[in-house]
Amino acid sequence: MWTAAAAAAAASVAQAVGQRPVTLAGYSIGARVIFYCLQALWRKRKFHCIHDVVLMGLPASMNATQWKQARQVTSGRLINVYCRTDWLLAFLYRWMEFRLQVAGLAPVTSIPGVENVDVTGIVKSHANYPEKVPQIMSFISIEL
């Protein structure tokens, strides 16, 4: 299912981009769809076709290969927005995926060009992201 959604999103984005810069931003499952979209674009060799990407509370692994691919598709900023105290993400993702490291809970290190922004002081819970999006986007200097 994720692959089909990502492929459809990637095709739409690639056609819509043209000469205009495109910024993709999402939280939780929306961020995961964007992340898979970036992988699909990479497989189609659509490098640097997305301007900025903001992934908030991303329920995905810190797999270095996937993050490098996402970086190669992004011409501007690739931002991992995380909250160290997001207990819902910690519990559900670790339970479902059996992984200990989750991008939405910690910085993605060792990948040049990935910005990590800790919003623990802004976001109190996973469900808090939607109401905090304007504040987060202002904090990271991305216009809505």
pLDDT band, residue 1 (cuts 50/70/90): very low
- Position 138, amino acid: S
Buried b (16+ CB within 10 A) or exposed e, 56-79: bbbbbbbeeebbebbbbbbeebbb
Q: Are 55 and 67 in contact (CB under 8 A)?
A: no
pLDDT for 68-118, tens place per residue?
A: 999 999 999 999 999 999 988 877 765 555 556 788 999 999 899 999 999
Whether pLDDT at 123 is above 50: yes
Q: Are 88 and 125 in contact (CB under 8 A)?
A: yes
Q: Six-digit token pair at 64?
A: 């270095």
Residue-range domain boundaries for the chain? 21-139
Q: What is the pLDDT of residue 64?
A: 93
Q: What is the pLDDT of residue 15?
A: 59
pLDDT band, residue 58 (cuts 50/70/90): very high
Whether pLDDT at 140 is above 70: yes
Whether pLDDT at 144 is above 80: no
Give the pairing of strands 114-118 and 78-82. parallel
Q: Report the C-alpha gap between 44 and 63 in whole angstroms.
A: 20
Q: 121 by DSSP, 3-state: which?
A: coil
pLDDT for 6-53, tens place per residue?
A: 555 555 555 555 567 789 999 999 999 999 999 999 999 989 989 999
DSSP 63-118: -HHHHHHHHHHBSS-EEEEE-TT-HHHHHHHHHHH--S--GGGS---S-TTEEEEE
Q: What is the pLDDT of residue 12?
A: 59
Q: Report the C-alpha gap between 71 and 73 in whole angstroms.
A: 5
